[in-house]
A and B are shown apart, each in its own frame.
Chain A
Amino acid sequence: MTWEEILQCTEVIARYLIPTLKIFGFTLLFSIPLGMVVALLKMCKFKPVSWLINVYILIMRGTPLMLQIITIYYAIPMMKVSDSAFLQNLFAGVDIKSESYQFNALIVAFALNYAAYFAEIFRGGIESIPKGQYEAAAALGMTKGQTFFRVVLPQVIKRIVPASSNEVITLVKDTSLASVIAYAEIFRKAKEQMVSYSNLTPLFIAGIFYFIMNAILTTVFAAVEKKLDYYK
């Protein structure tokens, strides 16, 4: 490829940075709170609930994200052509031809998958806080809410930063899986260019984009860890 072609190619790929970042951002936006809820439900004393959550986490972590994306993306269209009237009408309001359907299906798949991983991180963090912290707060007359938000949560956050940063960095790379349902983002565009130029350079360019995003995230997380390092 000539330098001019490389530059052109970079420009095309860079334009699809936004869709990639959209998957990244929306996935975090939904999976972190959802992960928190899942973690709390998993610690629920009522056995059927924690059992159900266990099954969910097992499936999400035990099967490929790519499989989950495809399943969720095609589930509704398949239902619409099934024999059962009930299934046909279940998602009557969902327009599978619309542009947003593809993106929404992606975010549902990514958020459900990442919530399972975050939930396990959060649960580990919450369970690692010594019982004595809860007892000290209780003995001081603090309510359950005050204890969680003022005593437990700040300590949990410090403990989960390293594991969470791993997930976030993996997510940057996993956004490329969106290409499997033909969602136009960096990876898909790079692959298209690769085919049309019969040259691997476009993939290399995409790689540099992912690398830079993760270099930035790594720096940010290192700074956060350092900031939280004021106590042991």
Chain B
Amino acid sequence: MAILEVRNLSKSFDKLEVLKDISFDVEKGEVVAIIGPSGSGKSTLLRCINQLEKASGGSVKVCGLDMIEGYKNGKPVYSPADVLREIRLKIGLVFQNFNLFPHMSVLKNITEAPMCVLKKSKQEAEETAKVLLEKMGLASKAGSYPCELSGGQQQRVSIARALALNPEVLFFDEPTSALDPELTGEILKVIKELAKEKMTMVIVTHEMAFARDVADHVIFMDGGVIVEEGTPEQVFGDTKNERTKQFLQRYNNDFKD
């Protein structure tokens, strides 16, 4: 069964159509990279699936659960709150600018949701958090506050925070874009580790080499539509699509500058 099934998803902000007829699947254990120029709707796509934005049309299924129940007067009717909540807990989200809770220690950031959402005991939540911090190479930072950490460390904490809820799939929205270039490596390494463990992931990224390296499936978006998708070899190797070619070329040039 697919973890995620997106069908004909569309999204408009007032008159502005940002997503048009987006369809794709994510299978268990698969790593999907979404690439595309700025403003193409990549973040909006993740946010619609994560219920941070309301979709305008189409359907989203997460682990067999329907996010949208049906339609009334052409407007989507969302499923009951408990279903939406269940869906939400199946998806972890890592933000570009971390969005850690500044008033909570690193440990508390990670245990907060397991304790107040999943009602886990403090002890159980802290044990899980410590294992995750160990894995992120941050065991010694449990008592620190986010403001005392580097951007790369903060992002690793936010990955641990998302993993603490044991999600079925992890979304990343440009996880390295807010980082100094010398810090992106540590995040990419963590994501690669997760890929090795067969964590299902959807990653929006501008790191083309990384996308090529880590993804099983690449989606190229432009102007709110999926222009092309396929294996990294197909998309990066010998795309037949003119727009993809142009985009990748511009990227290669940017890197040479």
Q: Which residues of A contact B (CB under 8 A)?
A: 130, 132-133, 135-142, 146, 150-151, 154-155, 158, 230-232
Instruction: Give the residues in chain A near B162, CB-CB below 8 Å.
Output: 139-140
Q: Which of B65-103 contact A (CB under 8 A)?
A: 85, 88-89, 91-93, 95, 97, 99-103
Can you list 22 A-B pairs with a CB-CB distance of less than 8 A? A132-B95, A132-B97, A133-B101, A136-B99, A136-B100, A136-B101, A136-B158, A138-B51, A138-B52, A140-B112, A140-B162, A141-B88, A141-B89, A141-B113, A141-B117, A142-B113, A142-B117, A146-B116, A150-B112, A231-B103, A231-B147, A232-B102
At the interface, yes or no: B145 with Cβ under 8 Å from chain A?
Answer: yes
B contact residues around A136 at 8 Å (CB): 93, 95, 99-101, 158
Whether the pair A230, B145 counts as a contact (CB closer than 8 A) is: yes
Indicate if B161 sits at the interface (CB-CB under 8 A): yes
* Residue of B with least CB distance to A131: B99
Chain B, interface residues (CB within 8 Å), range: 20 to 34
For the complex, is B153 an interface residue (Cβ under 8 Å from A)? no
Residues on A with beta carbons closer than 8 Å to the beta carbon of B93: 136, 139
Set of chain A residues within 8 Å of B85, measured between Cβ atoms: 141
Q: Which residue of A lies closest to B102 (CB)?
A: A231
A140 and B103 form a contact (CB under 8 A): no
A148 to nearest B CB, angstroms? 12
| Complex Cα–Cα for A130 and B102 (A) | 11
- Known A139-B52, A140-B161, A150-B112; contact A155-B103, beta-carbon cutoff 8 A: yes
Are A232 and B101 closer than 8 Å at their CB atoms? no
B89 touches A151 (CB 8 A): no
Contacts of B145 in A (CB 8 A): 230-231
- B100: chain A residues at CB < 8 Å are 136
B50 adjacent to chain A (CB < 8 Å) = yes
Contacts of A158 in B (CB 8 A): 103
Residues of B within 8 A of A (CB): 50-52, 85, 88-89, 91-93, 95, 97, 99-103, 112-113, 116-117, 145-147, 158, 161-162, 165
Would you give the shortest CB distance from A152 to chain B, in whole angstroms? 10
Expressed in whole angstroms, the minimum distance between the Cβ of A67 and any Cβ of chain B is 41
CB of B146 within 8 A of CB of A132, answer no
Q: Which of A138, A139, A158 has the most CB of B within 10 A?
A: A139
Contacts A132-B99, A146-B116, A151-B101 hold; do A140 and B147 have CB atoms under 8 A apart? no
Cα distance, A231 to B143, chains bound together (Å): 12
A214 to B9, CA, bound (A): 61
User: Which A-B residue pairs are the 3 nearest by beta carbons?
Assistant: A136-B99, A140-B113, A132-B99
A133 vs B113: C-alpha distance in the bound complex, in angstroms?
13
Cα–Cα, bound, A132→B102 (Å)? 12
Alpha-carbon gap, A141 to B102, bound state (A): 18
Interface centre among A130, A231, A232 (most CB of B within 10 A): A231
CB distance B99 to A154 under 8 Å?
no
Please name 16 further chain A to chain B contacts, defined as beta carbons within 8 Å, in addition to the given A138-B88, A139-B93, A140-B113, sorted by A numbering: A130-B99, A135-B52, A136-B101, A136-B158, A137-B101, A138-B52, A139-B91, A139-B92, A141-B89, A142-B116, A142-B117, A146-B116, A231-B102, A231-B146, A231-B147, A232-B102
Query: Which residues of B are found within 8 Å of A231, using beta-carbon distances?
Result: 102-103, 145-147
Q: Which of A140, A141, A230 has the largest number of chain B CB atoms within 10 A?
A: A140
CA distance A105 to B113 in the complex (A): 46
Cα(A150)–Cα(B109), bound, Å: 11
Most A-side CB within 10 Å, residue of B95, B116, B158? B116
Contact between A141 and B103, CB atoms less than 8 A apart? no
Most buried by B among A136, A155, A158: A136
Partner of B99, one of A135, A141, A155: A135
Knowing A158-B103, A232-B102, A232-B147, say if A135 contacts B95 (CB, 8 Å).
yes
Q: How far is the CB of A81 from chain B (nearest CB, A)?
A: 55
When distances are taken between beta carbons in the complex, the residues of chain B under 8 Å from A141 are: 85, 88-89, 113, 117, 165
C-alpha gap A118/B59 in the complex (Å): 45
* Nearest chain B residue, comparing its CB with the CB of A157: B103
Residue ID in chain B nearest A130 by CB atoms: B99
Residues of B within 8 A of A232 (CB): 102, 147
* A130 CB contacts on chain B under 8 angstroms: 99
